Amino acid sequence: MTALAEHGRRSQQIATEVTKRRRPKRKLIVMRMIPPAVTGRCPGWLLLLLLATTVAQAHARQDEAGERLLTVATLELPTLDEGQWEQRRDQVLQMLEALQPDVIAVQRVLQAQGRNPACWLATRLRYSCDFVTADPPSQPLRRGSAMLTRLPVSEDGVTLLHPPGQYSAAGMLRVKLKEELVNIYVARLRPDPDEPQVRRHQASDLMTWIGATAEGLPSLIAGDFSADTAELVSSAPGFQPARRNPGERVDPPSVAGSARGHGLDVLFQVKHFDGLGQQALKLPPPDTGGTEAGPLRLGVMATLRLQSPAPVSAP
C-alpha cells in the first residue's frame, strides 16, 4: 500500500465525514442591513474611519489599473470566555467592515450549541461562512476553523491532518477573483504535542492534499504555524510567508506570550502571487481602569497581487 493510500485509509477510519472534496459550493449569504454601531464611547473609531477611506481608495485604484489584488486575513477571535466576546465583537465587526478583506480565515473556532462566533460575523458582513471541523454535528461543543469570503465560491473541501487533534481539520475554498479561480486553504499547524516530527507529519499531509486538489490553480494557505520560519518554508515548497519582518510576528490571543514559532501568517505560491504587504489586525486597548494596556492583536491581513499568466510563445 502506498503512503498516499494509507493516508486516505486512516482519514476515513478516524472521521468518515471528512473527505478531500465534499460538494459543489451552494453559497448562502444572509442579506441584512446593519445600522452603524459607532458610538462616542468606543475608542479608535476615527482611525477605523480613516482606514475605511484608505481601503476604498485602494479598491478604486485597483479597478482603474485592472490589477487583481487579493486581501486575506488570518486571525483568532477574542473568545476566551463569553463575556470577552460580548464586549469585543462589535469592535471586531467594525474593524473588518473597514478593512473589507476578500477572505477571512478564523482560527480556533468554538461552536457551542450551534452558536458560532465566526459565522455571526459573516452574517453581519454579508459574507459566506464555512465551518471546518472533524467533530460530528451531534457533538455539543465542536472545534475547528472558519472560512469567510465575499467572493463567489465554486467548490469547498475538508481533510484531516495526522495525528488527529482538536483543530487538525484543514479546509479549502475555491473562489473567483475577477475571472481567475484561486484556492484558499486554511490550517492550524500547532499540534499537541508540538514536536518537530508531529509538525512535519501534519505539514506533509497538508501539502499532499493541496497537490491532490489544487488542479494547477494559484493557491495560498492562511494559518497559524508553531514551526519557526525556516522549518515552515522547508515544509511548504513553493510557498512563501507574506510577513517579511520578524518583528511583526503576531501570536493568536489564546497563546499570546507563550507561543513559539512563526505565528499567524498567509503563505502564497511565489509562481502565482506577489506579496505587496501585511498589516496587523488590532483592537483598541481594553478599559482596565487606568492601568496602561496595549492594543489587542488578533491576527494579520496580507495583500497579494495575482500575477498575469505567462504569454504563450508562437510556434
- CATH code assigned at 90: 3.60.10.10
Q: How far apart are CA 283 and CA 229, in angstroms?
A: 26
Q: Global pTM? A: 0.79
Domain presence at residue 273: yes
Contact 306, 273 (CB under 8 A): yes
Residue 33: what pLDDT?
A: 31
For position 45, what pLDDT does the model report?
Answer: 45
What is the DSSP pairing of strand 69-76 with strand 239-241? unpaired
Domain that holds residue 261: 3-33+41-306
Q: What is the pLDDT of residue 18?
A: 41
Q: Is residue 312 part of a domain?
A: no
Instruction: Tell me, yes or no, whether 118 lies in a domain.
Output: yes
**Got the DSSP string for 19-47?**
-S--EE---------------TTSTTHHH
The helix/strand/coil state of 87 is helix
pLDDT at 31: 28
Domain count, the chain: 1
315 domain-assigned: no
pLDDT per residue of the chain (315 residues) written in tens, 0 to 9: 444 444 444 444 444 334 344 445 433 333 233 333 333 334 444 445 545 554 555 555 455 457 899 999 999 998 877 788 888 999 999 999 999 999 999 999 999 988 999 999 999 999 999 999 999 999 999 999 999 999 999 999 999 999 888 899 999 999 999 999 999 999 999 998 899 999 999 999 999 999 999 999 999 999 999 999 999 999 999 999 999 877 777 877 777 666 678 999 999 999 999 999 999 999 988 765 656 667 888 999 999 999 987 544 444
pLDDT value of position 295:
83
pLDDT in the model for residue 65: 53
In a domain, 172, yes or no: yes
pLDDT at 8: 47
Are the C-beta atoms of residues 218 and 273 closer than 8 Å to each other? yes
Q: Is residue 189 part of a domain?
A: yes
Degrees to nearest 5, angle at CA 119 with 263 and 137: 95
Grid coordinates in use for 57?
Answer: 481608495
Sign of CA dihedral 183, 94, 258, 81: negative
In a domain, 83, yes or no: yes
90 assigned to some structural domain? yes
- DSSP assignment of 190-221 equals --SS--HHHHHHHHHHHHHHHHHH-TT--EEE
Do 77 and 298 form a contact (C-beta atoms < 8 A)?
yes
